[in-house]
Structure 1
Amino acid sequence: MATPQNQEIVLGALPKGITLASEAAGNKTWNVLGHTYLAKVESATSFAWLSLDPAGTGVPPHVHPTQDEHIYIMEGIYTLYLDGEWETAGPGDTVRMPKNLPHAYYNRGETPGKALFWVSPAGRLSQLFDQLHNLEDPEEVVRRSALHDVDFLPPGSVPGA
């Protein structure tokens, strides 16, 4: 029988075990600009989190210069900006965003979205989420993100964003 892995996460080798559907790895849960993120896997090579995205929320265009990012859509329809093009993805779809690719995602539907996100390598994204938790000032989000290798594009630089 599986047991929760509520041990402290130490970046390094991937720890064996199971993160239960109802739990966050290391009890790490963040509220970032209306989204709820639950850590699922964290090691030096990979970081994954479940994102609960209410209708009308999104993350504006940005770039991860050192990380590949992926999204596996579980519920809802996401509108995605991928290097100059707008696309949609729904349940069962996997979105691939290589490092340096300008990208954004929005839940522009009327129902909540739910998706598993992951980046590799892990970089400092978990530490960034620690700093963004309950932060409501978008300018401060952009400033802190830049210090953690996530670069937001200037407002208005992407039509439709």
Structure 2
Amino acid sequence: MGRVRTYEWDDPSITAAAVGTASGLEFLRSVQKRQLPAAPISATLDFTLDEVAEGRAVFSMTPGEEHYNPIGSVHGGVYATLLDSAAGCAVQSTLPPGMGYTSLDLSVKFLKRITSDTGRIRAIGTIISRGRQTALAQAQLVDEGDRVLAHATSSCMIFPVPAAAG
């Protein structure tokens, strides 16, 4: 018999409409406090935004077999999703109202295998440099003993967000 996992998510257009209406840090704090819905991908993979500060964002999850690839360990796409989220949100946390961002690239180095026996993992994103149009951030995926499981760098484009139609 196959295994079953069900989950729910909220309407992503609610959160998307709030981008740029406050600073990036205020926006992320609203998501963290559940005043705004989290991204649907966080429900799909079952991860949460645990910490956010200026230039820093931390996501965490407990990997399970639903995250596995065909060879019995967590799929690299799960690593990449957590690392991309942490690095991107580190950039977002530095943005003033009216500005948004998008990832231009993500370079991931996989260092250790992750399985359901690994326990809770955290993706810790920090900003390296931010200019007016681009930013560079990094993220580390660590286990409960702070051993580095993967590392990533990400370049992000920064742009004005169109004002919502009133």
TM-score, structure 2 length as denominator?
Answer: 0.30
Which of structures 1 and 2 has the bigger CA Rg? 2
The structure carrying a bigger helix percent of its residues is 2
